[in-house]
Each structure stands twice: as structure tokens, then as C-alpha cells.
């Protein structure tokens, strides 16, 4: 039996420095030394195990078992989702319908800056809303590359864009997790988050055109960024506050695409970038266009059906849960920690995507044998990225179960009223470690609420800030870097990609910190439900 001690050194500051070692190692190895993601992840994992054993007195067996549980968790949480999302994409490539989809997007505008907004921001948001995981990064990266964007830049664009919708991604899963770990109403967390991330949604399209074309892009293509970001932000706020946080990203993504299409009919940016002609002058029939979009329509339908209460209850009833063998943990307050593996094979996001893929096989006229071959090719496409994902998830669970994560949270929470500014930073750390906003909320949601109660502040503000701040770390998380480089054929260059997006991650995080702090004061306090 291992009882967690969040302050093993007797000094919370020194304990926090100890707990920071694995996370700092990841950032330095990726950004400073440009190591490959799997080696950086494995090194950080070894350090985390070392800190757990030597610093936190966690038994070796428990530390290694925590790592094994993390790796097992990543199979359903990331790999099963990503494999199936990319498999569906690869099916459309094989059938030739991806080229049709590509030409459909390019028909909106032949300007790369507008294409980056439509594909990475709007279409990526739809994918994030439906499935989350690494699907949006992988699919949007390849789509941008096919339109002529440099591979490294394409992955960077996809990573940066996959921020604004993440807090409500996977049918609002991060918000649902906040409800699970705190017991407070999910709808109120959703409403509060919907009063924070729309500010981010306004900024992201401008960042994208800046990455594509610098200051010239901002000067010439800002109307497209304003149309996409503004329409997305307003819709995201309205739907999350007055309808359903689970649906807000889906509706916001569609509205933003329609806004850009409407703008493109009366305005096009100056042709300062040589236009990219996707697929030459081929004219696609209406039927081909419909079939090209059908796989994603299938995903929308399948996920919508899965959210119907009776269907959802039935799928959830098929989940097999079991206590993870050998894990015997006690929280600092003496309460046992339940380490349970939920094999939700029927309701898992990846399973719903797999079902969508099977239907796509029929729609696209691909044989079962060929579909299986393409699935094998999809798995091989990720190669070392799979090891990186295993390593990062193992790292997150070792840090969590040993108490290192709690140490960092308590240290930051000890800053008093200034914690309102740092609250998003806690979420950022969580996503940097776990790679998912839901994972960060699971780790720190309870801590955020406790800190709010101690400071006499709204728990919904701090809980939402954890989710809103966390999304900025999606672009630097080793597992997402690994997914992006694998999809773009850049495996081994995760360090270069990290350096390309790290500055944007910090800049957007700073903006969210300022918003959260002002919402804790009379300046913007009226925004808190």
C-alpha cells in the first residue's frame, strides 16, 4: 500500500521543483536539444519513475505498474481514436475522393491563407468536436500538404488551430469530466468555458494567417480571419450558454465555414501568394462531391445517434470495468484511490469511428480485404509515434499516482489571489503531460475547485480556466507532436516542430491568464455565472 505525500521534502517549493524535473526534461529535450518525441518521452518517464521512487518513496512495483496502466489507457484514449480517424482518411485517399474533397475546399478560395483557416480552423474544429484525439491534427495536416503547404508549416497550422474547439472536443468530454471529478453541474462549467474560449477563437485565425504569410498576410487576409473567428466565437458562446455544450463546436464549425464561403463570394485577398491549384482543372460531379463528404457525414450521424440517451445508456452498459491488479494507493487524506480500467469497447470514441469506417467502406465501394490492408498501412504509418504516445501516457500516470501532479497544483494554488492568473497554467501543465484536455481536467479539476473554495472564488471560474488554459498545451504535447509528424512523414523532427509552435502556445496562454484574472475581479466578474 502506498500513501501519497504531496510534500515529501517538507518544503512545498522544493517538492514542486522535484516534481517539475520530468516535465522540464520533456520541454528541454524536445525544444532545446530537438530530440525525437519517443526518446524525450522515454527519458522523462525514467526520470518520473526515479523521482517517484527516490523523492516520493513510491515502491518500484507500484511506479512501474502506474506506467503500465498509463500505457494501457492510451490505447483507448488516443491510439484507437487516431488509428480509426486516419484510416477513414486513408480510405478516401485510396478511393480518390480525398482529391475531390480537397478541390471542394480549394474552390472556396485559391489563397493559402484562406485555405488554412477553412481547413485547419473550421474543418479541424468539426473533427475535434466529433472525435478529438489526434484526428484533427493528422487529417488537416495532410489535407494542407496536398494543397501545397510546406509539411512542417502544415502540421504547425493544424496544431495551432486545434486549440479553440478543444475545451468542448469529443462531444464536450472535457466539460463532462469536470462534472465527474467535482460533482458540480456540467452545464454551468460549459457556460463558463463558453465565456472564455471564444476570445481564443477570435485570435486563432489571425495567428494562422500570420504563420502562413507573416505581417503581409495579416494586412491582406484579415477579413477572412475575422469572419471565421468572429462567427465561431459568437456561435460557441451562444450554443454553450443557451443550448448544449456538447454541440457547440459542431455548430460553430459549420457556421464559420459558411461565414467564410459567404465572404469569399464578395471578397478575395490580394493574390500575393501564388495560387495553389488542387487537382488541376478537374470538374467534379455533384455526386462525387457528395460521396467525398459522406464519410464525415457518417461520423456526424453515428456520433449523434450515440448521444441519444437510450442508445448511450445501452452502449455504456456494455463497458467492462475491472480493478487494475497490483495497484494499492491511498490519497494524502487516507482515502483509498480506485485504480480502475474501463474497457468501454462499445461507447469509445474510437469504436464509433471504427463503425463509421466500416460504413465508409461500403459507401466508397472498397472491399473488406483492401480495407484491412489500408488499416495495416495506417498503423505502420505511425511507427515510432506509437512508442511516444505510450511513453507520455505512462509518464502522466506515474506523476499522477506518485503525487507529483498534486504537488505542482498545490504549489501554484498557494499563490493566493494571484492563483486566478495561474489557474489556466495548471491546466496547461496538465495537457502538456497528458496530451488531452479531459486528462488535465481529471487531474486538476478537483484541485481547482478546492482552491476556489479556499479563496472564496467561483469554482466554475477556476474549473473552466483549467480547461480553457489547457488547450494551449495541445500543440506542444509530445503525443500530439508525434501524431502530427507521423501523419506528415516527418517522424524524428518533433523537436523542430516544438520550437515552431512553443511561442504561440505561451502567447495564447498568457492571453487566457489575463482573461481569467480579470474575470476574478470586478472588471469582468459579471461574466461568471
Most confident of 9-13, 173-177, 304-308: 9-13
Which position has the higher pLDDT, 434 or 155? 155
Q: What is the predicted pLDDT for the residue at 201?
A: 95
Specify the pTM: 0.83
The upper half-sphere exposure of residue 377, i.e. CA atoms within 13 Å in the direction of its Cβ, equals 14
Q: What is the predicted pLDDT for the residue at 284?
A: 79
Instruction: Work out whether strand 329-330 and strand 2-3 pair parallel, antiparallel, or are unpaired.
Output: parallel
Which of 253, 146, 160 is CA-nearest to residue 208? Answer: 160
Average pLDDT over residues 148-157: 92
Q: What is the predicted pLDDT for the residue at 275?
A: 47
Average pLDDT over residues 170-191: 86
What is the rounded distance in angstroms from the CA atom of residue 460 to the CA atom of residue 249? 20
The upper half-sphere exposure of residue 34, i.e. CA atoms within 13 Å in the direction of its Cβ, equals 7
Residue 282 has pLDDT above 70, yes or no: no
**Contact criterion met (CB below 8 Å) for 439 and 83:** no
Q: What is the predicted pLDDT for the residue at 487?
A: 81
User: By percentage, how much of the chain surpasses pLDDT 70?
Assistant: 97
Residue 344 has pLDDT above 80, yes or no: yes
φ/ψ (deg, to 5) at 137: -65, -45
Residue 319 has pLDDT above 70, yes or no: yes
Q: What is the predicted pLDDT for the residue at 359?
A: 96
Q: What is the predicted pLDDT for the residue at 280?
A: 47
Q: What is the predicted pLDDT for the residue at 313?
A: 92
Q: What is the pLDDT of residues 202-248, one digit of tens each?
A: 999 999 999 999 999 899 999 999 999 999 999 999 999 998 898 89
Q: What is the pLDDT of residues 89-113, one digit of tens each?
A: 899 989 988 888 878 877 888 888 9
Q: What is the pLDDT of residues 355-383, one digit of tens each?
A: 999 999 999 999 999 999 999 998 988 87
Q: Identify the band that residue 159 occupies on the pLDDT scale cut at 50, 70 and 90.
A: very high
What is the rounded distance in angstroms from the CA atom of residue 291 to the CA atom of residue 273? 31
**Contact criterion met (CB below 8 Å) for 191 and 245:** yes
Q: What is the predicted pLDDT for the residue at 279?
A: 44
Amino acid at each position: 500500500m502506498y500513501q501519497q505525500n504531496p510534500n515529501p521534502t517538507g518544503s512545498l517549493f522544493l517538492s514542486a521543483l522535484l516534481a517539475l524535473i520530468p516535465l522540464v526534461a520533456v520541454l528541454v529535450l524536445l525544444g532545446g536539444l530537438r530530440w525525437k518525441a519517443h526518446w524525450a518521452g522515454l527519458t522523462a518517464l525514467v526520470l518520473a519513475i526515479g523521482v517517484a521512487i527516490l523523492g516520493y518513496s513510491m515502491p518500484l512495483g507500484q511506479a512501474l505498474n502506474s506506467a503500465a496502466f498509463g500505457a494501457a489507457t492510451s490505447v483507448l484514449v488516443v491510439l484507437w481514436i487516431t488509428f480509426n480517424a486516419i484510416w477513414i482518411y486513408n480510405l478516401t485517399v485510396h478511393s480518390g475522393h480525398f482529391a475531390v474533397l480537397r478541390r471542394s475546399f480549394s474552390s472556396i478560395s485559391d489563397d493559402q491563407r484562406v485555405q488554412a483557416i477553412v481547413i485547419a480552423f473550421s474543418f479541424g474544429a468539426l473533427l475535434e468536436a466529433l472525435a478529438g484525439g489526434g484526428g484533427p491534427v493528422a487529417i488537416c495536416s495532410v489535407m494542407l500538404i496536398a494543397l501545397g503547404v510546406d509539411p512542417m508549416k502544415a502540421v504547425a497550422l493544424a496544431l495551432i488551430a486545434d486549440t479553440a474547439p478543444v475545451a468542448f472536443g469529443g462531444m464536450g468530454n472535457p466539460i463532462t469530466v469536470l462534472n465527474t471529478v467535482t460533482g458540480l453541474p456540467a452545464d454551468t462549467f460549459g457556460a463558463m468555458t463558453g465565456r472564455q474560449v471564444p476570445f481564443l477563437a477570435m485570435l486563432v485565425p489571425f495567428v494562422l494567417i500570420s504563420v502562413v504569410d507573416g505581417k503581409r498576410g495579416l494586412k491582406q487576409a484579415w477579413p477572412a480571419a475575422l469572419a471565421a473567428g468572429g462567427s465561431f466565437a459568437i456561435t460557441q458562446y451562444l450554443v454553450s450558454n443557451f443550448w448544449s455544450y456538447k454541440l457547440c463546436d459542431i455548430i460553430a464549425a459549420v457556421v464559420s465555414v459558411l461565414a467564410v464561403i459567404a465572404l469569399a463570394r464578395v471578397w478575395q485577398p490580394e493574390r500575393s501568394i501564388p495560387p495553389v491549384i488542387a487537382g488541376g482543372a478537374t470538374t467534379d460531379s455533384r455526386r462525387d462531391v457528395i460521396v467525398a463528404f459522406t464519410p464525415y457525414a457518417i461520423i456526424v450521424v453515428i456520433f449523434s445517434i450515440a448521444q441519444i440517451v437510450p442508445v448511450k445508456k445501452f452502449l455504456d452498459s456494455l463497458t467492462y470495468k475491472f480493478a487494475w491488479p497490483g495497484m494499492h494507493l491511498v490519497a494524502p487524506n487516507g482515502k483509498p484511490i480506485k485504480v480502475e480500467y474501463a474497457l468501454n469497447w462499445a461507447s469509445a470514441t474510437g469504436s464509433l469511428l471504427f463503425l463509421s469506417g466500416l460504413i465508409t467502406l461500403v459507401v466508397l465501394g472498397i472491399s473488406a480485404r483492401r480495407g484491412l490492408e489500408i488499416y495495416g498501412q495506417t498503423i505502420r504509418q505511425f511507427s515510432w509515434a506509437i512508442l511516444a504516445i505510450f511513453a507520455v501516457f505512462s509518464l502522466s500516470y506515474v506523476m499522477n499516482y506518485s503525487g507529483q501532479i498534486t504537488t505542482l497544483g498545490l504549489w501554484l494554488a498557494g499563490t493566493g489571489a494571484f492563483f486566478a492568473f495561474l489557474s489556466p497554467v495548471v491546466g496547461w501543465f496538465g495537457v502538456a503531460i497528458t496530451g488531452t484536455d479531459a486528462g488535465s481536467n481529471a487531474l486538476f479539476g478537483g484541485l481547482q475547485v478546492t482552491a476556489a473554495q479556499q479563496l472564496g472564488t467561483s469554482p466554475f471560474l477556476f474549473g473552466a480556466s483549467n480547461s480553457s488554459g489547457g488547450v494551449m498545451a495541445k500543440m506542444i504535447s509530445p503525443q500530439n507532436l508525434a501524431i502530427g509528424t507521423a501523419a506528415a512523414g516527418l517522424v524524428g523532427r518533433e523537436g523542430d516542430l516544438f520550437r515552431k509552435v512553443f511561442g504561440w502556445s505561451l502567447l495564447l496562454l498568457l492571453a487566457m491568464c489575463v482573461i481569467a484574472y480579470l474575470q476574478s475581479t470586478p472588471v469582468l466578474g459579471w461574466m461568471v455565472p
